[in-house]
Structures are given as structure tokens and as C-alpha cells.
Amino acid sequence: MNLAIHGNPMNPSPLRTLTLLEMCQSMNELHQIHAQTIITGLIKDTFTESKIVSFSLSPRRGNLCYGRSIYDQIEKPNSFIWYAMIRAYFNDSNSHEAISLFNQMLHFENLEYKFSVPFALKACGELAAIIEGKQIHGWVLKNHYNSDVFVLNALLKMYVDLGEIRVAGQVFDRMDQQDLVSWTTMIHGYMKFGELEIATNLFNRMPNRDKDSVTWNAMIDGYVKYGNIKEASKLFEGMPDKTLVSWNLIIDGYAKGGDIETARKLFNEMPKRDVISWNSMVDGYVKCRKIEEAKEFFDRMPQKDVVSWTIMIAGYVHNDLPKEALKLFQCMLIERERPDEATLASILMAISSLGLIEEGKWVHSFMGKHGFKVNGVLGSALIDMYSKCGYIEPAHKLFTDIVPKTLGHWNAMISGFAMHGLGKIALELFKEMERLGVKPNAITFIAILSACSHSGMVSDGLMCFQIMRERYALEPKIQHYGCIVDLLARAGMMKEALRVIEGMPMNPDSMMWKVILSACRKHGEANYGESATEKLMELEPNDASIYVLLSNIYAMAGRWEDVARTRMLMRERGLRKTPGCSSIVIGGVLHEFLAGGDSHPQYKEIVSKVGEVIGKLRLEGYRPDLTQVLLDVEVEEKENSLGFHSEKLAISFGLINTKKGMPIHVIKNLRVCGDCHSFIKLLSMVYDHEIVVRDQNRFHHFKNGSCSCMDFW
């Protein structure tokens, strides 16, 4: 369509030009009209200028930069042009420029400010610009806009956004008249900041409230948010006109509160449902750890959105079903549902759990291709994924490349170094973080204390614990005390560890006593072990790992009658030891091996390989550590038992199916035993393979006959 203006260019028709502007459909057409108005001089007409600027600022068809270039050439913009520019910058998420333009506007007289002030106030709220916001408030009072409900509603919203709910209340109380927006804004605000009583009183005073479902929903949402489901339910029951939003809010409240049966009853009663209704039910079942019911609802959904998929994937991850999460993610991609940041963060957690580095690299590549940024939560998730898959160098490179870094990135990297036993490097990174002025939080200190613990850096760990309180005024939580207890107990300082427990301001949890019990096993402290077991049996009487650890302590001390008594107690209580399980990925396929298990298709070949490896290692001085077999059996049977530990089976499978010299990565669900540790160290030298083992607590990098843990684990 050619919109060139026909006729005498020296005698333009403003009406014709305005008609063409009304018909304009694209920036290309606007360029033609704009050029013609410049040639004809019609551009000097303020009304024409405002029309051109208005089209340029259209969010769907316009171009803000082009509109700004026109605006900059206008000597005296009218009120509409100022308003259009300020609104456009605010809508373009450039609140700084919106405020700047409003300040410039104030230097011009005889303008109508009424429509521009609200957007300037909204911009202040969005930027948390409290000083500028209060300055505009002062201007509003000085220029007698304090009776304009449109302006005052924007002022209320700004103060709510700034967290100044008391000031918002003062403005509201002084208003000559309040409309529906005024009441709703204040009720939302009070609910947002937990002022339930004030919000309720305001709601009860609100005129014509029965006609406004939005405010009813705000009240229900507020009660649900602060855990008062009874009041939310009472309000819902009394609601004169229940909307779909109301139904969804109350169902979500019951579901998140753990009362999934009531949520389902209400769901069944709903006159109409949407995807939000279904998502609430799936999420509710996930949070109740009823994953099968959640999947049943998910499969029945008439339509799904990205939230539906993400809830279900995250549900699998948090219920320790990472394989199912990965399968569902693949289905999501097949269904052409694009994942969002939350989906990718959840799937990276699943990949981290399984140690599937190729899948992790694929997700990283997918993020790059689809424009996902790694300078936020996804960057932290990627660093964590590479670290937990055993690839600390790529994790560190990614960390180095991220600009700017958030606290989450620093925490993820320090935690990564910690799990790889690189305590000194973790401490250096922590100090660098301090030098750059990045303030650590409670999570940072858990990471650095863990790093010191895994590397035996007792004095450094105690120093970090001290500066946590003295330099950063962070009060240690039970997790931090747990790290200190672990630090001391690992180093064999049992008395000092127990003194920390006695001096804590809170009661020790089961995890802390397990740390003590595990250290007792390592250092052969049977007496301390018995004491810790008594505490654990009070807290978690049905945890099989407690009995196993105590049994192992007795076995190491040769107290076989106590071993038999402990195992009998396990049988009486129906408890079973968690079998050792190791996994390895070859050719994109995950292979799992149980200690003594014979179900793998290559089992005979693997057993033969184990025998071959043991034979070669014996020539190099390897002798099975029979103290690691905590059974009262003959020497030959002990040796056979050691040969079928799951990590030995997995590594032998890796040797069969991996090219010479290629790294072998194995994940084990339990702590690596001393015999397997010595075995793998020697194997890495004899077979010239770097072997990376992730056990229950940390990573071991075996290379050329040594381990990164320096035999401290």
C-alpha cells in the first residue's frame, strides 16, 4: 500500500494527512507520511506531531527509538506527547527514563499533568525509588492534585510497592473519596504485608463489596498465603458470586496446606475448571508426596501448560525419582511444549542426581540456542550440575564467564569445590568474594564449612565459623553447627565435637548424631558410638543405617556377639540394610550394579574382568583389606565379598567398554570403603585411566595411583 500524499505539495491538506495517519498500519508507511509532512512543513503542526509520535510508540506496531527521535526535535511538546513518551518508557520497562522525562516535563508550564503523574509514580514503585516518589508526592500536594482519585490511586499503589504500607494508609484515610481501585489497592497491600486484621476490617467496611470479586479473591488469597485456611474457606463460602479464580484459590490453599482430600472434593464440585485448577491438584499431590496420584491427575488433564509439566517434573525430582523426571522432560519436548527457567532448573537437578553429563551438556546447549541467560538461577544450576557430574573444571569456567555474578553463583562454585575435596581453593574463592564486597549468606557458610570439613582444614573451618557471627552478624543455624561437628569428628576430635553439641542453643537433630556415629566407625570409637546410637534410636528408631553403622563399629572391634545382637534387632524391626549400588553411563545408557548382583547382561564378562584386575593389582602389591568385611567368616569368603562390591563391578564394566586412557565416571549411593579406595588408586595407575567416583558424601578423583581426597574422607 503506497501512502504517498498526492496533490500540490506546497499546499498540503492537514485533513488528508491525518486521514492517512489513521489508516497507517506499519512503520514503513509511517516513514512515508512523516517524510511528506517534513517536505510540506506540516510537521510543525503540534497535533500532527502528536499523531506521528503516538503511532511510533504503539507497543504492537511502533518503534520507541523512532518515536524518541521525533520527540527530541519538537520544541514544545504538548501534554499528550509527554504522556505518551512517559507511558511508553514505563511499559518498555525503562522506568528510569520515565521518571527523567516526567522531571523534564515539570519545567514546562500550562500542561495537563494528570495523566502523566500516575506513570511516573508507578515507575518509582517499580524502581523502589522512594526519594523520587516522595518528591512527586510533595509536588502532587503543592499543585492541588490531592483531590484527583486517579492520581491518588497511583500514589497508593506506589507506596504499597515501596513497602510503605503505613504511609499508603495515611494517604487513603485523607482521600476525599475512594473508588473501587482505592479499596482494592489497600486491601491487597495490607494482605501482602501480613496485616490480616487491618485488611479484614477494611474489607468489612468496603462499600459495594459484593459487586467486586477481585477484592474477595485478594482476601482469600491473603488468608491462604498466611496459612489461615479456615478464614479463607469461611470467606469463600460467603462469597455471593464465586468466580473461577475463587475456586482455584481455595483449592490451591487446601492442596498446599496438605489437605488434599478437601481440595479434591472442591475440585469435583467446581462448575468449571481450567488448567490452573488441574495444576493446583497436581501440585497438591506432589507436596503430599503422593506422586502416583499426581501423575494420574497430570495424565487426565484436558490441556497442559508449561507450569503443568514443570510441577510434575519438579515433583519427581523432589521425590527422588530423577529418571522419571528425565523421561517426562523428553515427553515434554516431543509434545513441543517449550520449557521455562523453572523447568530447566528442575531437570538440571535430576541430571545432577544421576550424573548424566551428556544430558547436562545438551540442556546447556539448548539454553544457549533458545536465548536462556545463565546470569541468574540457571547459571547456579549449571555450575551445580557440572560439579555433581564430576566435571569441576567446566563448572569453574562457566562460573568465571558469568558476568555479573550473583551470590547464588558464588555459593554454587564454593559448594562444588567442597564436594570435590578442594578445600583450599574453596577458601581462596571465599576470600576473593569478600574482597569484591559480595556479602555471604547462611548458605555460603554451609558451603565453606563443608569444604573445610572434607579437606581436614580444622583451624580454617573454626575461623570461618567465628567470622560468620563476628563479621557478618549471622546467627548459626543447626546446619552450621552440624558442619562444625562434622569437621571435628572427621578429624577424630570426638570430645570437642560433643562439646559443640552440648553448647548449641538448639537440640541436635538425627543428622548430627549420624555424623558422630559415622566418625566413631572411622576412628573405632565404640563407646561414643553406643551413646550416639541411643540418641538416634530415640529420634529415628526405624532408620536402618543407624544399626548398620553400630554393627560395623562392633565388627571393627571384634565384638561379634554385639554384631549379632544388633542385626537381630534389625530383623525384629523389619529393617534392611541399603544395598551398595553403583552406576556408570556408557554410550548414553545408564548401567547400575548392586553389590553381589548378577543381573547385568555382561555379568560373566565383568566377573572375569574383576578377577583379571585383582590379579594384576596383586602383582603391584595390592592386598585386600579384610577389615572392611564386617562379617565373622573365613578369609577366602571375605576376599570374595570384597571383589563383588558394586564400584568394582561398575569400574570393571567401564574398563571393558571404554577406550584405553579415557576417564571413567562412577556414582555410588554409599560411602566408598577403604579396600575399594586402595583398589581404585592402584588401578588408575596400572590401567592408565583417570577414575572419578562420587560417593554418598563427596568426589574422589583417582589418577596415577593417588586420590584427590589425600586419603581423608
Q: For residue 223, what is its C-alpha cell?
A: 488468608
* pLDDT tens digits along 700-709: 999 999 999 8
| pLDDT score of 16 | 65
Q: For residue 261, what is its C-alpha cell?
A: 482430600
User: Quick one: 20 exposed, middle or buried, by C-beta within 10 A (0-12, 13-18, 19+)?
Assistant: buried
Q: What percent of the chain has pLDDT over 90?
A: 60
Report the distance separating Cα 371 and Cα 473, nearest Å. Answer: 39
Average pLDDT rounded to a whole number, residues 196-220: 87
Give the C-alpha distances (Å, rounded to integers) separating 666 from 98, 351, 364, 646. 56, 14, 22, 10
Residue 66 predicted with pLDDT over 80? no
Higher pLDDT, 36 or 10: 36
User: Residue 482: which of 496, 467, 497 has the closest Cα?
Assistant: 497
Instruction: Pick 304-402's CATH classification: 1.10.540, 1.10.10, 1.25.40, 3.40.1000.
Output: 1.25.40
Average pLDDT rounded to a whole number, residues 399-427: 96
Q: What confidence tier does 213 reach under pLDDT thresholds 50, 70, 90? A: confident
Q: What confidence tier does 467 reach under pLDDT thresholds 50, 70, 90? A: very high
Beta strands in 82-176 (DSSP E): none
- Three-state SS for 583? strand
Rounded to the nearest 5 percent, the helix, strand and coil shares of the chain are 65, 5, 30
User: Residue 178: which of 195, 156, 199 has the closest Cα?
Assistant: 156
Q: What confidence tier does 234 reach under pLDDT thresholds 50, 70, 90? A: very high
Distance, C-alpha 495 to centroid of its chain: 38
| pLDDT score of 10 | 44
Residue 577 predicted with pLDDT over 90? no
| pLDDT score of 451 | 96
- To the question of pTM greater than 0.75 for the whole model, the response is yes
Report the distance separating Cα 287 and Cα 273, nearest Å. Answer: 21
User: Residue 245: which of 234, 257, 236 has the closest Cα?
Assistant: 236
Rounded mean pLDDT of the chain? 88
Q: For residue 353, what is its C-alpha cell?
A: 542426581
| pLDDT score of 3 | 45
Query: What is the b/e burial string over 69-93, where b = at least 16 CB atoms within 10 angstroms of the residue's CB?
Result: ebbeebeebbbbbbbbbbbbbbeee
Of 324-333, 415-424, 522-531, minimum mean pLDDT range:
522-531
Of 93-107, 320-334, 553-567, minimum mean pLDDT range:
553-567
Q: What confidence tier does 639 reach under pLDDT thresholds 50, 70, 90? A: low
* pLDDT tens digits along 640-699: 567 788 999 999 999 999 998 899 999 999 889 888 999 999 999 999 999 999 998 899
| pLDDT score of 617 | 93
Residue 163, by phi and psi: left (phi above 0), alpha (psi -120 to 50) or beta? Answer: left
Report the distance separating Cα 385 and Cα 362, nearest Å. Answer: 12
| pLDDT score of 633 | 41
Q: Are 132 and 126 in contact (CB under 8 A)?
A: no
| pLDDT score of 563 | 85
- Residues facing residue 30 across a β-bridge: none
Average pLDDT rounded to a whole number, residues 105-114: 87
Residue 421 predicted with pLDDT over 50? yes
| pLDDT score of 6 | 45
672 φ, ψ (degrees, to nearest 5): -65, 130
**194, 195, 201, 203: CA torsion to nearest 10:** -40
Q: What confidence tier does 513 reach under pLDDT thresholds 50, 70, 90? A: very high
Q: Where in the chain is the domain with CATH 1.25.40?
A: 304-402
| pLDDT score of 225 | 87
Residue 374 predicted with pLDDT over 60? yes
Which residues are within 8 A (CB) of 693 and not within 5 positions of it... i.e. 6 or more apart?
Answer: 647, 665, 666, 667, 668, 672, 680, 699, 700, 702
* pLDDT tens digits along 272-282: 999 999 999 99
* Sequential DSSP letters for 330-384: HHHHHTTPPP-HHHHHHHHHHHHHHT-HHHHHHHHHHHHHTT--SSSHHHHHHHH
Q: Are 651 and 595 in contact (CB under 8 A)?
A: no
Beta strands in 285-338 (DSSP E): none
* pLDDT tens digits along 525-564: 888 888 898 898 889 888 888 888 888 888 877 888 888 8
DSSP state of 303: S
Q: What confidence tier does 488 reach under pLDDT thresholds 50, 70, 90? A: very high
